[in-house]
A and B are shown apart, each in its own frame.
Chain A
Amino acid sequence: MFFPKAMSELELIVPSKDLLGVMKVISGHGVFHQTDSNYPQLNAAGGAPNTWQERAAAYSALERRVQAVMQALGIEEGRPPSTDFRDVVEMEAVTPTLERIEGEVKATTDQLADSQRRTDEIQSTLRQLEPVAGIELDLAALRKSHFMISMLGLMPAANVGRLQTSLARVPHAFLILRQDSQKPVVWLAGTQSNADVIERAARSAYLEPLTLPDSHEGTPNQIIDSLNRELGDLRQRVEQLKARLAELTRTDREELLTLLWEIHASRTLTEAIVRFGQLRHTYVMVGWVPTDELETLTRRVKQASRETLIETIPTSRHGDNRNIPVALQNSRLLRPFQMLVTTYARPRYGELDPTWLIALTFPLLFGAMFGDVGHGLVLTIFGLLISSGKVKQLKSLASLGLLITICGISATIFGFLYGSFFGFEHAIPTLWIKPSDDPLTILGIAVGAGVVLLTLGFLIGIFNAVVSRDWPHLIFGHNGIAGFLLYWSALTAIAGSAKFIPLPPQPSIILAGVAAFMIMFADFFIRLMEGDRPLIEGGIFVFLFQGFMELFEAVLTFLSNTLSYIRVGAFAIAHGVLSVVMFLLAGLLDPHLGILYWLVVGVGTVIIVGFEGLIVGIQVMRLSYYEFFSKFFTGGGMRFEPLTLAPTKEQS
């Protein structure tokens, strides 16, 4: 719970003959995170060509073909079936079935595409013919004339006069077949000897001639009738083809899904094998396994292949462990908070998993900023509704449902403490404090809470440094002992000077001076302890300036981090004030507390719960990420991705 799962490194040397058997066990168990052990030197020693790579490529191509067929039939891949697919299928066994289904589907989809293309062509021609529908002219006769050029089409009305002017010196006939203020239908004709002039004039006047295929004969209405008949036949044909595809979907669905998962499993296994080291008669498999699963896995591997050599190497949380995959082990209730953490970064193997911490602080801060029994309950119900998955439109937010519910409950509890119910400040008794009545106290409490959280952050940071045995940063780091000392000695010095605590400020000032000195020259001391040379880079003045800037930055960060928590109190006050404004506005619009009054209150409540809730959520995230996490959380851990044919629990 506090740390990622303990991992052990596992190395297997598997005889070639047992490879598939061992692979079945490993992929079936779903706990082995493979690392690449396919070193060129290793393979050179084996001397045998790696045919697994070719097979993996062939399975991959086959899988794409199955997916293409399924897509054409509209079959969803869905989740892998419960059937045991932990084996590599032979190419020859699956290809004929795939080719048969593929051939049937392709023939049908090709015909469908042809029919649809032809439908589009006809519709395009019909659109062109629509403006000239009522004109009694044999279009084919015009087109076939040897001595005449003629054009039937549309043109901008404004260009008609200019077109006629431009053809004044060329014998021609120009008729407006249908008047239109924007696009009249016109017919332009002339002799073939003047074809180039007429075409140029028509083009430059933006005359848009109809472009009909040669096959169409008769008047526009006759052509339209003939095309409509063809269109009817085509639509019938399309329906038949679609029915045929639906039939294929029904008959071939199960077979295709089986094929897909068999091939998918084969591809996954062969791709994994490609990453194994290959010797002459053996394969080397290296990876990570959760320590609590190690015994079961090794026992099963031994059952599958007695000759397999197994070596396990325990790992440590100390030192550099960035190459160790991280599997987080949090309960279902903590999953939404784990999502918040991993959005920021995945903890490293040796690092404390802050999910449990954020699960405490996030709802607490949210509730404090959004305290209202009514609003909290609305949020809780909304969260439950999202979690239930009953509202289709909210399904994409399902992962946030639990988070919203918990935040809503927290807001409800704080609502009782603040005595606020849907913005009515006197409807229920105040159990603790009313933020809008006592703003200075609530702001002071907020800063105090910030000091507590930052102190907790410092302590966890120090703990992480101890676990990873990073002594230089533990002592001299901003977030190590030096930073902690500076933060608290400065706080006590200020509190002592202002007589908030019965302590003289002098010892704290001396302690703060020591801590400031440690931070200022932290780089020097860290280099000294880590054995890095030179100890001072870029000359003494640059060094001193850098040291001063380090200290300045540290002090500024501590100050801004602490003051940032004022927003918790500020939002608590603003939440109440916003409700007051809503009631004032409603009262102004409808002093008799009629329908309008309650309408404004209703809309105002939706805005408060929706928008303010969102803003408060973002502010809490900000406080968690930038103020709190920055004190102790490094992140950068590698995700644990076990070799499996089904997604892991964490992935799902």
Chain B
Amino acid sequence: MAGGVSGYAAVNARVRVMYSYLLSAEDLTRLSQAPDLVSLVGALRQTAYGSYLDGLREQELTPEAIIFQVKRRLADVYQSVINAAPPHTRSLFLQLYRYYEINNLKAILRGIVTGPERNTEESLWDRVRPVLFPYGAMSVLPAQAMVESGSVASAVELLHGTPYYDVLAFAMKRYSAEQSLFPLEVALDLDYWRKLWAEARKLLGQDQGPATRIVGSLLDLNNIMWAIRYRVYQGLSEEETINYTLPFGYHVSDEDIRAIAAGADISAIVSRLYPEIPDAAALLEDPKRGLPVLEHRVKRYLMQQCLAAFVGNPFQVGVPLAFLVLIDLEVQDLTVLIEAKFTHVPVEDFRNFLLRTPEAA
């Protein structure tokens, strides 16, 4: 197995270089102060995103087009890390990257259900294509053919031979009965996280600890948010909530999820799980309003964990893994900024939605 110094030398060199290009809290503050979207793009052209944005002319500066270009860099970074990663870790990175492909798959299915816009000549594919993540050659989705197939059932049939077919084929019975994409999306999510967790657990030696810590923390974030949302927003029963969540993670245990599903005090559980978030209990006094803020805080906590992964032994899977999470969070910040500048939201109103701020650092 090509682990250790020799195995991680290439990926570490790449990650260290790309890490130096990550936007700092000061960079994000400077970008926040751009007076409008055009100025923001001008400022972004001076960063690592510059080469991706150079092709955009001023009349093409829509939030969708800019975000698409920003995501192109994210895709390139992922592919660069996957190519340089030691062979025994590659399947973990590939599975992590599938997150975006699953989002594309969900977007395609939603597009099919929504159908084409009336009173417009724009085809459904023209409408769906801009919202898809630029996944690149690694994608196994026949995206256009799926959109043009006209029905969810035909689109799923086109997935024969991909990792998604069996999962969706099982869930299709429920889709046919309920005519809702919910069972399909839940099945995809559960399958994704199960496989990702299995990949992290599969690693041995000095790789397993960092891998389960980072993947587990990501999983915790999703699992706890699902459990709270299913109970608070969707009013699902205990048994449904349990079936739609996962029994593993880094901090969050099956008992915690079952307790939330059974109606226990959410704020007490969250406060115990995340002592680093002091106002968690206060936020969850009104769960519907507090949950988005709590999610934001947990993401900040995750960001801190990932930054910490760069301290210590560099020759383990945690470094590239943490970097990929960090760059994803950076893209989330840039998305907030771009949308805010497009809609002319004042800095003070959106600053709190940014993950990387001087206060958070």
A associates with B: yes
What is the interface of chain A, defined by CB distance below 8 A to chain B? 155-156, 158-159, 161-163, 165-170, 182-183, 197, 200-201, 203-206, 208
Would you give 28 A-B contacts (Cβ < 8 Å), ordered by A?
A155-B170, A159-B243, A161-B247, A162-B242, A162-B246, A162-B247, A165-B242, A165-B247, A165-B254, A165-B258, A166-B242, A166-B243, A168-B258, A183-B170, A197-B239, A200-B237, A201-B239, A201-B243, A204-B236, A204-B239, A204-B240, A204-B244, A205-B243, A206-B170, A206-B174, A206-B187, A208-B170, A208-B173
Give 9 nearest A-B pairs by CB, closest first. A204-B243, A166-B242, A201-B239, A166-B239, A204-B240, A205-B243, A166-B243, A162-B243, A206-B170
- Contacts A158-B191, A161-B247 given: A167-B239 contact, CB under 8 Å? yes
A206 touches which one: B171, B238, B242, B262 (CB < 8 A)? B171
A154 (CB) vs chain B CBs: closest residue: B170
**Would you call B3 an interface residue if the criterion is a C-beta within 8 Å of the partner chain's C-beta atoms?**
no
Residues of A within 8 A of B116 (CB): none
**Would you call B194 an interface residue if the criterion is a C-beta within 8 Å of the partner chain's C-beta atoms?**
yes
Q: Is the CB of A197 within 8 A of B237?
A: yes
Q: Is the CB of A163 within 8 A of B170?
A: no
A182 (CB) vs chain B CBs: closest residue: B166
Alpha-carbon distance between A159 and B190 when the two chains are bound, in angstroms: 9
A203 (CB) vs chain B CBs: closest residue: B174
**Would you call B183 an interface residue if the criterion is a C-beta within 8 Å of the partner chain's C-beta atoms?**
yes
Residues of B within 8 A of A208 (CB): 170, 173
Alpha-carbon distance between A138 and B244 when the two chains are bound, in angstroms: 32
Alpha-carbon distance between A166 and B247 when the two chains are bound, in angstroms: 11
B183 touches which one: A158, A165, A183, A206 (CB < 8 A)? A206
Interface residues of B in 140-184 (CB under 8 A from A): 166-167, 170-171, 173-174, 183
Minimal beta-carbon separation of B263 from chain A (angstroms): 12
Minimal beta-carbon separation of A188 from chain B (angstroms): 12
Residues of B within 8 A of A161 (CB): 247
- Contacts A206-B171, A208-B170 given: A200-B183 contact, CB under 8 Å? no
Residues of A within 8 A of B239 (CB): 166-167, 170, 197, 200-201, 204
What is the interface of chain B, defined by CB distance below 8 A to chain A? 166-167, 170-171, 173-174, 183, 187, 190-191, 194, 236-240, 242-244, 246-247, 254, 258, 262
B170 touches which one: A156, A165, A200, A203 (CB < 8 A)? A156
B246 (CB) vs chain A CBs: closest residue: A162
A165 (CB) vs chain B CBs: closest residue: B242
Residues of A within 8 A of B238 (CB): 166, 169
Residues of A within 8 A of B191 (CB): 158
Minimal beta-carbon separation of A185 from chain B (angstroms): 14
Interface SS majority for chain B = helix
Alpha-carbon distance between A183 and B237 when the two chains are bound, in angstroms: 25
A196 (CB) vs chain B CBs: closest residue: B237
Residues of B within 8 A of A156 (CB): 167, 170
Minimal beta-carbon separation of A235 from chain B (angstroms): 28
B173 (CB) vs chain A CBs: closest residue: A208
Alpha-carbon distance between A201 and B238 when the two chains are bound, in angstroms: 9
Residues of A within 8 A of B183 (CB): 206
Minimal beta-carbon separation of A252 from chain B (angstroms): 40
Alpha-carbon distance between A166 and B236 when the two chains are bound, in angstroms: 12
Q: Is the CB of A200 within 8 A of B247?
A: no
Alpha-carbon distance between A143 and B244 when the two chains are bound, in angstroms: 28
Alpha-carbon distance between A536 and B236 when the two chains are bound, in angstroms: 78
Alpha-carbon distance between A166 and B194 when the two chains are bound, in angstroms: 17
A183 (CB) vs chain B CBs: closest residue: B170
Residues of A within 8 A of B247 (CB): 161-162, 165
Minimal beta-carbon separation of B247 from chain A (angstroms): 7
Residues of A within 8 A of B243 (CB): 159, 162-163, 166, 201, 204-205
Given A158-B190, A169-B262, A201-B243, list of 4 further CB < 8 A pairs? A155-B170, A183-B170, A197-B239, A200-B237
Residues of A within 8 A of B246 (CB): 162
Residues of B within 8 A of A167 (CB): 239
B254 (CB) vs chain A CBs: closest residue: A165
Residues of A within 8 A of B167 (CB): 156
Alpha-carbon distance between A159 and B174 when the two chains are bound, in angstroms: 15
Residues of A within 8 A of B262 (CB): 169
Alpha-carbon distance between A377 and B243 when the two chains are bound, in angstroms: 73
Alpha-carbon distance between A165 and B238 when the two chains are bound, in angstroms: 10
Minimal beta-carbon separation of B192 from chain A (angstroms): 12
Alpha-carbon distance between A169 and B261 when the two chains are bound, in angstroms: 12
Alpha-carbon distance between A121 and B271 when the two chains are bound, in angstroms: 56
Alpha-carbon distance between A155 and B169 when the two chains are bound, in angstroms: 12
Residues of A within 8 A of B173 (CB): 208
Minimal beta-carbon separation of A127 from chain B (angstroms): 13
Alpha-carbon distance between A161 and B247 when the two chains are bound, in angstroms: 9
Alpha-carbon distance between A183 and B166 when the two chains are bound, in angstroms: 10
Minimal beta-carbon separation of A411 from chain B (angstroms): 41
Q: Is the CB of B194 within 8 A of A158?
A: yes
Minimal beta-carbon separation of B255 from chain A (angstroms): 10
Residues of A within 8 A of B258 (CB): 165, 168
Residues of A within 8 A of B190 (CB): 158-159
Alpha-carbon distance between A156 and B237 when the two chains are bound, in angstroms: 21
Minimal beta-carbon separation of A57 from chain B (angstroms): 35
Q: Is the CB of A200 within 8 A of B240?
A: yes
Residues of A within 8 A of B242 (CB): 162, 165-166
Scoring B187, B194, B240 by chain A CB atoms within 10 A of each residue's CB, the highest score goes to B240
Scoring B166, B239, B242 by chain A CB atoms within 10 A of each residue's CB, the highest score goes to B239
B236 (CB) vs chain A CBs: closest residue: A204
Alpha-carbon distance between A182 and B191 when the two chains are bound, in angstroms: 12
Residues of B within 8 A of A200 (CB): 237, 239-240
Minimal beta-carbon separation of B33 from chain A (angstroms): 48
Residues of A within 8 A of B171 (CB): 206
Minimal beta-carbon separation of A161 from chain B (angstroms): 7
B178 (CB) vs chain A CBs: closest residue: A203
Residues of B within 8 A of A162 (CB): 242-243, 246-247
Q: Is the CB of B170 within 8 A of A201?
A: no
Minimal beta-carbon separation of A162 from chain B (angstroms): 5
Residues of B within 8 A of A183 (CB): 170
B245 (CB) vs chain A CBs: closest residue: A162
Alpha-carbon distance between A201 and B246 when the two chains are bound, in angstroms: 15
Minimal beta-carbon separation of A204 from chain B (angstroms): 4
Alpha-carbon distance between A166 and B230 when the two chains are bound, in angstroms: 14
Alpha-carbon distance between A203 and B242 when the two chains are bound, in angstroms: 12
